[in-house]
Amino acid sequence: MTPMMEQYFEIKNQYKDFLVFYRLGDFYEMFFDDAITASRVLELTLTGRDCGEAERAPMCGVPYHSAEGYIGKLIEKGFKVAICEQVEDPATAKGLVRREVIRVITPGTVIESSLLPEQKNNYICSIYLSEMSFGLCFADVSTAQVHATVIDGDRMDEHLINELGTYMPREVIANLSQKKFASAAEYITSHGGLLTDNQSSRFDYSACAAHVSAHFGDNLKEGIIENKSLICAVGALLNYLTETQKNDLSYIKELLVYDEGQYLELDVNTRRNLELTETMRTKEKKGSLLWVLDKTKTASGARMLRRWVEHPLLAPEKIIRRQNAIEELYGTFMMREEIGELLSHVLDLERLITKIVYGTANAKDLRAVWSTVTVLPEIKAILQDAQSDELRRIYAELDCLEDICNGIGAGIKEDPPFTVREGDMIADGYDAEVDRLRSIMNNGKEWVDRVAAEEKERTGIKTLKVSYNKVFGYYIEVSKSFMNMVPDTYIRKQTLANCERYITSELKDMESTILGAKDKLCALEYEIFNRIRSFVADRSERVQHTAALLSELDVYCSLAAVASRYQYVRPEITATDVIDIRDGRHPVVERFVKDLYFVPNDVYLNTKDDRLMLITGPNMAGKSTYMRQVALIVLLAQIGSFVPASSASIGIVDKMFTRVGASDDLASGQSTFMLEMNEVAYILRNATKKSLIIYDEVGRGTSTFDGMSIARAIVEYTASRKIGARTLFATHYHELTSMEGEYDGVVNYHIAAKKRGDTITFLRKIVKGSTDDSYGIEVAKLAGLPNEVIKRAKEVLSMVEASSKAVRDAVDGDTTAAPKADDGLLSIDDMMNEQLIEELRQVDLNTLSPFECMSLMFEWKKRYR
């Protein structure tokens, strides 16, 4: 092989699972299998290169200055990329230029803003699995945020999936084989995550403890280092990031450890059903709760608001502190508007400082930091008279970063180029040598004109010109008619048809000065730029803290703006078990019914006499909307937000569960009913007395009597002292309404509707008491079913209702009201006879064993007696 190919394979063998971008001149080249893969994914032309063997090596490449977009496409498809750069100057290198992998880019380690969603964190996760507990660590490398927790107790795999559903990591590393955590592994990969398992060597406790202690030092809370599962997860992730980023991770300053008593627990089904950050159908932000709340002005503020929505609080004092800040901004319109206007000029400091620390930021990124920092004094001045604790804390801790502002403002031009090695970045007057070299370059044309004028005067040659090309550099051109006037000091360089070209020693000296000035200037500007960038990087902790404070202020302003715009009220947060909401509205649905009146509704729940609302009513009347509305109002309250109601008192909820609608999971072979039962089983195992539970039409996926029996048993178990949680239970099994008088805490409610002839009007109002009609046929008519189908449905309904009445009368001893076949309608007996006859037709007597025959007879007798 050629020396270059030997170098390539030496590097490639160290990064077998990566696509290696190998720098050759102005291109990143890929070879062999990497080239075949990249050409297919990126739609590049596949070429070949001589490599010293019989066959040419497959090759494709991308320009180095536009590689970022191509890398982004590969990362989006789940590939990992290793950037192999020239680490010495080709002009001064002896022999083959030395190359090294300077950075590895994976889905969880992207820091480039252009490759990341602005309003969403990009997490990488490490999972340490043991028999007693799971350790989890989530990190966003682009914003330097690290969160860690431990899962223990029963059914740890379920809680693991819930945590993964909260953070949705793009990449996961684990110590064991994915077979050991199959359900979580399937969840990761099915949601687009890249999973690397069997990484046990990274999770050695001694090595991890040493790594974590060395990295976080005094910032570690007492006792954390003894928590083996947590330390193994954090240490392994630090090890992986150090290995892949090949960069100093000191900008990651803080480890945030949380436990289950800190945040409202939401399982993945509840997050999906409540559509907190994306809709179930389109997976888009529009139509979600976050879409309603997000009036933030900054990218980092939008990310923080998303984290608040995903992590509602449990501590009343923290919730109330947030409420106080929102209330102050809610009541001071001008203050809120002025802050919002200033925040609209704030760029993404969190991600900019990470690029600066990594050494990938250009001069435009530094100017972006400067433009943000310039508004900090004005924001601080506005907060000077703030009264709430949170706003006063932001005022006290907000660092205006004057040294960074002055350093960048004085050193970097207002509109610098994207590239950092071609000069024109450093401001005039910042460095004397830069000004001198720039003057030489800028005055080059004046010098050429001066030399031409002097030579014309000295020689008397009127047509003399001084020109430049890349072959000869600067030269003097004389037409052939003046050849006899050329002085002896001119040195002939080229003869053309009608002129001669000459050089002089003076010309060459000045050429060397001018051309050398450009190279020197570019090198000097790059050196000064690096000094300024390092100056900012050394102050990264201060920049990060300022960015976090601005994000928090942005979220408070956003929630205050939403409360003001949509007439939300401040809920009372209590330690009681009461949820009392007056005139509550669904925060999302009311935004989509602008031209209609959204009917508000009350709710009153506690863990005593009003712990389970049994809700009946027509299809499409609004039962599901009402129940989701209650859950979202409670969640909003525990975020610290105001809520859509005329008044609200919220007793803290520790866990929230929803069992709402389902569809078959064909991939895992689970039916609608099986999925429904799995979700209900999860709720019954994990709910506590302080939980809030939403059941929407449980038992629909099986036969009527099975479904009704299961639904009743679930109501009994949920309302009993075994759980006793605050619950909303919607059903079409009207037989369950009899439970109101039989079981403590069960209270009947229904959604009112008005029927006139064959039409139905939904009043959308929840009323105490039960109803015995679901108006299914009327709803079917509204949906546009053919009249023939509607007519037949009414006939069958009449017959079924008559049969049901006959059964009840027979039980009571009245046999005179038995239904009769009439006008072509089949009685229940006729239907059962036809069913039995059809089953007899299906029996193959030639293959039936005596035992199977007896079993069939027993089954028929039992069914048709």
Q: According to DSSP H, which parts of 566-671 are helical?
A: 589-592, 623-639
Q: Tell me, what's the pLDDT at 821? A: 44
Question: How many residues in the chain?
Answer: 865
Q: Which of 303-312, 452-461, 494-503 has the highest mean pLDDT?
A: 303-312
Grade residue 670 by pLDDT with cuts at 50, 70 and 90: low
- Between these two residues, 784 and 167, which has the higher pLDDT value? 167
Of all residues in the chain, the percent with pLDDT exceeding 90 is 64
Q: What mean pLDDT do residues 33-62 have?
A: 88
Q: Tell me, what's the pLDDT at 25? A: 86
Q: Examine the pLDDT at 668 and tell me if it is beyond 80.
A: no
684 burial (CB, 10 Å; 0-12 / 13-18 / 19+) is middle
- pLDDT single digits (tens) 134-158: 999 999 999 999 999 999 988 899 9
Q: Tell me, what's the pLDDT at 662? A: 55
Instruction: Name which of 48-62, 182-196, 845-859 the model is least confident about.
Output: 845-859
Q: Please state, rounded to an integer, the average pLDDT across all residues of the chain.
A: 89
H or E element that contains 693: strand 692-696
Grade residue 281 by pLDDT with cuts at 50, 70 and 90: confident
- pLDDT single digits (tens) 178-217: 999 999 999 999 999 999 999 999 999 999 999 999 999 8
The 10 Å Cβ neighbour count of residue 47 is 14
Sign, CA dihedral 697-698-700-703, equals negative
Q: Which two tokens stand for residue 236?
A: 């392994």
Closest-CA residue to 67 (of 29, 118, 106, 99): 29
Q: Return d(Cα 471, Cα 473) in angstroms, integer.
A: 6
- Eight-class DSSP state of 465: E
- Between these two residues, 400 and 516, which has the higher pLDDT value? 400
Q: What mean pLDDT do residues 110-115 have?
A: 89
Buried b (16+ CB within 10 A) or exposed e, 444-478: beebbeebbeebeeebebeebbbeeeeeebbbbbb
Q: Tell me, what's the pLDDT at 664? A: 44
Contact between 176 and 195 under an 8 Å Cβ cutoff? The reply is no
Q: What mean pLDDT do residues 47-51 have?
A: 82
Contact between 595 and 616 under an 8 Å Cβ cutoff? The reply is no
Closest-CA residue to 79 (of 30, 120, 127): 30
Q: What mean pLDDT do residues 4-16 have?
A: 92
The 10 Å Cβ neighbour count of residue 859 is 11
Can you tell me which residue has the tokens 């992590």? Answer: 311
Instruction: Name which of 50-54, 629-633, 654-658 the model is least confident about.
Output: 50-54
Radius of gyration for the alpha carbons in the chain, expressed in angstroms and rounded: 37
- pLDDT single digits (tens) 795-842: 887 877 776 555 555 545 554 544 444 444 445 566 567 667 777 877
Q: Tell me, what's the pLDDT at 758? A: 67
Look at phi and psi of residue 192 and say left if phi exceeds 0, alpha if psi is from -120 to 50, else beta.
left
Q: Tell me, what's the pLDDT at 860? A: 76
- Cβ neighbors of 368 (< 8 A, separation 6 or more) are 347, 352
- Cβ neighbors of 729 (< 8 A, separation 6 or more) are 612, 613, 614, 615, 695, 698, 714, 715, 718
Instruction: Name which of 44-48, 100-104, 283-287, 471-475 the model is least confident about.
Output: 471-475
Q: Examine the pLDDT at 666 and tell me if it is beyond 50.
A: no
Q: Taking the chain, what is the end-to-end CA distance rounded to the nearest angstrom?
A: 87
Q: Tell me, what's the pLDDT at 665? A: 47
Q: What is the pTM of this model?
A: 0.85
Q: Return d(Cα 809, Cα 381) in angstroms, integer.
A: 81
Q: Examine the pLDDT at 36 and tell me if it is beyond 50.
A: yes
Q: Examine the pLDDT at 650 and tell me if it is beyond 80.
A: yes
The 10 Å Cβ neighbour count of residue 364 is 15
Buried b (16+ CB within 10 A) or exposed e, 592-627: eeeeeebbbbebebebeebbbbbbbbbbbbbbbbbb
